[in-house]
Structure 1
Amino acid sequence: MMSLTGKPRRKSVRKTIVLVAAGAGLVLSGAAQAQQIVVQGNQRVDADTIRSYVTGTASGSAEEARRNLLASGMFSEVKVAQSGGRTVVTVRENNLINRVVFEGNKKVEKATLEGIVEAKARGPYSEAIVNADLARIRDVYKRFGRGTAKVTYRTVDLPNGRVDVIYQVDEGDKTGIISINFVGNNAYSERTLKGLMSSSEMNFLSFIKTSDVYDPDRIT
């Protein structure tokens, strides 16, 4: 039976104090761990951001932390080592992209190309990113009937670890469909089958239509 003296309430207060103290101990433990992580080589990326990749690993392994830092896209090289009871993280930052420029694109609008490339202003620069972008741009030109288009890139180094990325496009000639032939069509005529297709052959209207442009995706 509950007493009118209020003693049960005092017990509840004591329990609350103990729980808060225990939680504070966990926070201090995490802070102490972060203080043992030495960060080297960073210029733009905050050291605490880098430490968070190390303390935030599920297993706490140095290799997992290294992989996570590389996967962030902010660094071209990461080393994680133990020295004198401390974890030493040495990084080499990727350059930052100042701007992305397209040259030679007449048949494909700039906005279309900007929408498909991964390289973005103020984003990290890496060869892996721009090489993947080259493949994306070529694919777009194939869909526009420019399967022979050539796409290259160059960079312009700027102060403070920044670069301009310039994609250069040689659009080449239009890849048109000269003729469409069928083999084994016994039940339906060639004219009937052509009428069912979204692709067509080149003719005097080719300058205003796109159905006569060779697109592997459309044919399949």
Structure 2
Amino acid sequence: MGMALDRGGIRGMARGALIGLAVALALPIGGAMPVPAQTAVRVGAILVEGNRRIPAETIRLYSGLQPGQTATPEQLNLAARNIFATGLFRDVRVEPRGGQVVITVAENPSINRISFEGNDVLDDDALAAVITSKPRHIFTRGSAEQDAQLIIEAYRRSGRYGAEVRPVVIEQPDNRVDLVFEIVEGDVTEVQGITFVGNEKFSDRRLRRAIQTSEANLLSFLFSSDNYDPDRLELDKQLLRRFYLEQAMSISSSVPPPPSFPPTARASTSPSPSRRASSTAMAPRTWSARRWGLIPRSSGR
């Protein structure tokens, strides 16, 4: 089943997410600063600096380091990566200092408020239910970009394949940010024509009646069944399979069963030993006629 899309077809995904929160990091591994090459150090105590919301003990637990152990540079680098992998920090440093190990962190900001601009077809409540970011949650650039893609998918399901979404971050005091999604909804992508390939028994017109997607017409503004929807397209495939299955069952039930014969007509009868001699002297057809009560042939008497 093929569908022709109008208005330029699918214009692609969003042009990319531009994040207003600028964090300059020249770090080889995310935001975890590598420890300079050196000999192993004994961990006398573990100090945590730079944390505001997240308890120091929690950060120590993330690091995997224990007081009293001897840590190699590789283990210190692994501790920094472990902390950064939690997604709670935008910068992490782990370094020995005078017999101690100091963990310096810069926390990711928390989300103060989320708003949407430019949306009309989908209201704020519908979009808020789609995204994963929530007020008072930790903000990350990756989650904002993922939410932008989720909004684009929501518009695609409503037939707007030209939708564009750009997340913008506005810094606020106390390490907080406002997250704004700027939206260009675009036009509806309508289905101008539906064709079927390989159908011989049923016409295109008959198959169109079996599916939910319809072609655009003068009354399209009243319905949404002519909007291109990939989920509805999958449903149409199932409906076509069901249609052909039902037609095959109908044809099968309309074929009359093969004729049935009385069991006696197919019986193979062996004469008893006492009659075997006389029966062999008779024509088989004459014996069979008498056996089933039919009119016997003349025996010459």
Which residue matches 2:170?
Answer: 156
Which residue matches 2:298?
Answer: none
> 1:56 Cα shift?
8.0
Query: What is the distance in 2 between the residues matched to 1:64 and 1:197?
Result: 56
Structure 2 residue matching 1:123: 3-state secondary structure: coil
Match of 1:195 among 206, 209, 216: 209
> 1:202 Cα shift?
1.4
Query: What is the distance in 1 between the residues matched to 2:45 and 2:115?
Result: 43
**Is 1:51 matched up with 2:60?**
yes
Structure 1 residue matching 2:79: 3-state secondary structure: helix
Which residue matches 2:233?
Answer: 219
Q: Percent of counterpart pairs with the same letter?
A: 39
- The higher-RCO structure (CA 8 Å, 6+ apart) is 2
Query: What is the distance in 2 between the residues matched to 1:206 and 1:48?
Result: 61
**Is 1:38 matched up with 2:52?**
no
**Is 1:69 matched up with 2:78?**
no
Which residue matches 1:4?
Answer: none
Q: How many residues end up aligned between the 2 structures? A: 186
**Is 1:107 matched up with 2:121?**
yes
TM-score (norm 1): 0.75
Higher mean C-alpha displacement, 168-177 vs 47-56: 47-56
> 1:55 Cα shift?
4.3
- Segments of structure 1 that go 5 or more residues without pairing to the other structure are 1-33
Match of 2:135 among 121, 146, 157: 121
Query: What is the distance in 1 between the residues matched to 2:169 and 2:114?
Result: 10
Which residue matches 1:79?
Answer: 93
Q: List structure 1 segments (4+ residues) > 6 angstroms apart after TM superposition.
A: none
TM-score (norm 2): 0.56
Name the amino acid aligned to 2:49. Q
**Is 1:181 matched up with 2:190?**
no
Structure 1 residue matching 2:115: 3-state secondary structure: strand
> 1:85 Cα shift?
3.6
Query: What is the distance in 1 between the residues matched to 2:99 and 2:145?
Result: 41
Decide whether the 8 Å contact of 2:46 with 2:100 is kept in 1.
yes
> 1:35 Cα shift?
7.8
Which residue matches 1:145?
Answer: 159
Structure 1 residue matching 2:145: 3-state secondary structure: helix
Query: What is the distance in 2 between the residues matched to 1:68 and 1:218?
Result: 43
- Answer with 1 or 2: which has the greater Rg: 2
Query: What is the distance in 2 between the residues matched to 1:197 and 1:36?
Result: 69
**Is 1:136 matched up with 2:121?**
no
Change (3 A) 1:172 1:38: same
Change (3 A) 1:114 1:68: farther
Decide whether the 8 Å contact of 2:44 with 2:99 is kept in 1.
no
Which residue matches 2:28?
Answer: none
Query: What is the distance in 1 between the residues matched to 2:65 and 2:136?
Result: 26
Decide whether the 8 Å contact of 2:115 with 2:179 is kept in 1.
yes
- Segments of structure 2 that go 5 or more residues without pairing to the other structure are 1-42, 235-301
Give the alignment's Cα RMSD to 1 decimal. Answer: 2.4
> 1:156 Cα shift?
1.7
Which residue matches 2:241?
Answer: none
